[in-house]
Structure 1
Amino acid sequence: MDVFFTKSNQWLNKNMFPVVLTAIVLGFIVPLENSPLLSALATGLFAYMTFVSALRTTFQDFVRILTKPLVPLWILFLIHGVAPLTAWGVGLWIYPDNFYMRVGLMIGSAIPIAVTSIIWTTIANGDIALALVTVTLDTLLIPILIPAIFKVMLGTSIALNYGDMVLRLLLMVTIPSILGMVVNEFTKGRLENFSRSVGGVTSKLATFIVIVINSAVVLPQIHWDFSALQMMFIVLGLVSLNYLIGFIGSYCLKDRRKEVVTAMIFNVGMRNTSFGSVLAISYFPATVAFPIILMLLFQHPIAAIIAKRFAV
């Protein structure tokens, strides 16, 4: 039975693109309304996926990166410096007379790393500890970074509701990561195989359900017309560019092991669209959230294509 799950997990690693597309299509079909219960389910699934990923790392790996944080800080510079400036430039080129569309594109590239970047790093056999540390640092620094970006680029100040984001981080990343590393240490790595068999298959099932939930909640908010289709292609280009920025940025590192490059690509490429849409709606007209909502349609399919290339 263990062999069956191991082979199934290996098959899923190589075929996540059709799996992701199926989940998005189901999101079109399945009628779901956002609710506290649905949010709690998604949080629980995220926590489980992070726990399974953490079974493949140790406290030593985590502390090693935390005590030498130059790589995570470089990743954060790419995310909150290079990417939003690039998006703003694209916005000026395509939407010279539409300030709010430019703001939406900029916010979409400046928001925090998605927790799912850890899951895709795991699927692609990247440096899980690096991904965990970077996501944690990003959330801790967001109350400083996002207001600074708004002040520099838009000339305005905002105050973030940080408490809810920290709570979600604790539940989805910090606590399950610590538990996973504790279990890994206590069992002396014997459960690492679980993360590549039963745990790997079930965590991908959890990823599938999360994508269905997010798609079902987000897609009804999109009103399809020519301008929406135009924005869809622009967002597709920017999302792809964010992954590319992560890859190109890795050439500045002394340590360009495949695992490090993989983690960088997913960390820089994936954004927390839920946070971004709430941020946009809280401070700007609803149209600003439109490109951020569209990002969800492309982040996972592109991640699946990249994972297929790296998961060997």
Structure 2
Amino acid sequence: MRSLGLAFASWFEKYTFLLIPGSLVVGWLLSDVLEDYVTLIPYLFGYITLVMALGCGIRHLHGVLKRPYAVLLTLFLAHAAAPIIAYGLGSAVFGADSDYTIGLLLFAIIPLGISSVMWVGSSGGSIPFILAVVALDTILSPLVVPALMDMFIGNALVTWNASGLITDLLTMVVLPTVIGVLLYEVSRGRIKEWSAPVAQPISKLFFMLVVMLNAAAIAPHAADMKEEMLVVIPVVITLIVICYLLGFFGSYAMLRPSPDMQVTFTYASGMRNISLGMVLATTYFSPQASIPVVLGIMFQQPGATVIHALFHRKRTRAVIYPK
């Protein structure tokens, strides 16, 4: 049973770039059946966050705080530079008051994605740094997300429940993260290994369910927007590429960044917690605003696969042709 659970989790991570877009398609096709279960999303997502936090302890957070410049640069790229570009891109193409612009902005503002830890590890980046930064960013999300959304769109363009958003972020994200970190400390770091054969496979399945249910929630509205997708899809892909490039080139602000930190910055800037973004988009904003976030999940993982291949090629060339 133990080996089966770990094997499934490993298989899922290997084929995430296919399974998640596939889950999105299934959710769209079975929207009539799945719509009744949309209310389960916050609980499913809370469990996913808890499992993520089981691998992070206070020492990880403390270690990251010893590198304040690297942390601040990561957060600046992800939550200052990227939102400005997203808002500017959306405003130029759709207009500042467009729901699509709000969706692009939300995509750039939501916390860093936990899946970035997997890609950072497989591409030779710093796992302790990305794990701690993701946890820190997640904990800060009840402050960061509402504040940035209000800064860019205010209440003039769209009516949304900021207090409700904060409450949901606290219950879905911060509380499970705190519990996970405490369990890590109580178990002296062994809880992740103990629970992995069961907790990891369930987390992967819940991730797929979150994607399916969110897709089911917006499917009836998205069916009327087929022509608009011809414009929205290229814009979303452009934003994702820009976010990855922000991390790669932004790492040079550290002055001669090490190869592992360059990898880490690239994924930290490029990958977002899309499942959380989908929950927030469908709960607090219009179906149109949800579309860029949903599309983001289709292209973020394939983009990560391309980045992984490029870093692998770079490392291979460095071995063959050392300076």
Q: Specify if TM > 0.5.
A: yes
Choose 204-213 or 290-299, whichever is displaced more: 290-299
Q: In structure 2, what is the equivalent of residue 298 of structure 1?
A: 296
* 2:63 is aligned with 1:59: no
The alignment partner of 1:272 has SS state of helix
Task: Measure, in 1, the Cα distance between the counterparts of 2:307 and 2:104.
Answer: 25
How high is the TM-score relative to the length of structure 1? 0.77
Runs of 5+ unmatched residues, structure 1? 282-288
Distance 1:44-1:57 versus aligned 2 partners, 3 A rule: same
Match of 1:123 among 118, 121, 138: 118
How high is the TM-score relative to the length of structure 2? 0.75
The alignment partner of 1:197 has SS state of helix
CA shift for structure 1 position 19: 0.8
Distance 1:278-1:208 versus aligned 2 partners, 3 A rule: closer
Distance 1:253-1:7 versus aligned 2 partners, 3 A rule: farther
**Matched length:** 296
CA shift for structure 1 position 273: 4.4
Residues 80-131 of structure 1: CA deviation (Å, up to 9, x unaligned): 4322432344346545xx5544x7326523566446812x134334422211
Contact 2:48 2:203 in 1 (8 A): yes
| Residues 151-230 of structure 1 aligned to structure 2 (within 5 Å) | 161-194=161-194, 196-222=196-222, 223-230=224-231
Distance 1:244-1:277 versus aligned 2 partners, 3 A rule: farther
Task: Measure, in 1, the Cα distance between the counterparts of 2:169 and 2:269.
Answer: 21
Q: In structure 1, what is the equivalent of residue 8 of structure 2?
A: 8
**Letter in structure 2 aligned against 1:213:** L
Residues 34-85 of structure 1: CA deviation (Å, up to 9, x unaligned): 56x623x111111111111111110121244357654444344334432243
Task: Measure, in 1, the Cα distance between the counterparts of 2:24 and 2:137.
Answer: 27
Task: Measure, in 1, the Cα distance between the counterparts of 2:273 and 2:247.
Answer: 7
Q: In structure 2, what is the equivalent of residue 234 of structure 1?
A: 235
* 2:25 is aligned with 1:22: no
The alignment partner of 2:113 has SS state of helix
* 2:283 is aligned with 1:272: no
Match of 1:105 among 101, 123, 143: 101
Choose 165-174 or 62-71, whichever is displaced more: 62-71
* 2:44 is aligned with 1:45: yes
**Letter in structure 1 aligned against 2:13:** N
**Letter in structure 2 aligned against 1:52:** V
Distance 1:193-1:280 versus aligned 2 partners, 3 A rule: closer
**Letter in structure 2 aligned against 1:238:** L
Runs of 5+ unmatched residues, structure 2? 122-126, 313-323
Contact 1:111 1:276 in 2 (8 A): no
Distance 1:274-1:253 versus aligned 2 partners, 3 A rule: farther
The alignment partner of 1:199 has SS state of helix
Task: Measure, in 2, the Cα distance between the counterparts of 1:252 and 1:242.
Answer: 16
Q: In structure 2, what is the equivalent of residue 141 of structure 1?
A: 144
Distance 1:57-1:112 versus aligned 2 partners, 3 A rule: same
Contact 2:103 2:291 in 1 (8 A): no
Task: Measure, in 2, the Cα distance between the counterparts of 1:178 and 1:45.
Answer: 17
Task: Measure, in 1, the Cα distance between the counterparts of 2:152 and 2:226.
Answer: 31
Task: Measure, in 1, the Cα distance between the counterparts of 2:174 and 2:141.
Answer: 13
Contact 1:243 1:266 in 2 (8 A): yes
Task: Measure, in 1, the Cα distance between the counterparts of 2:4 and 2:307.
Answer: 23
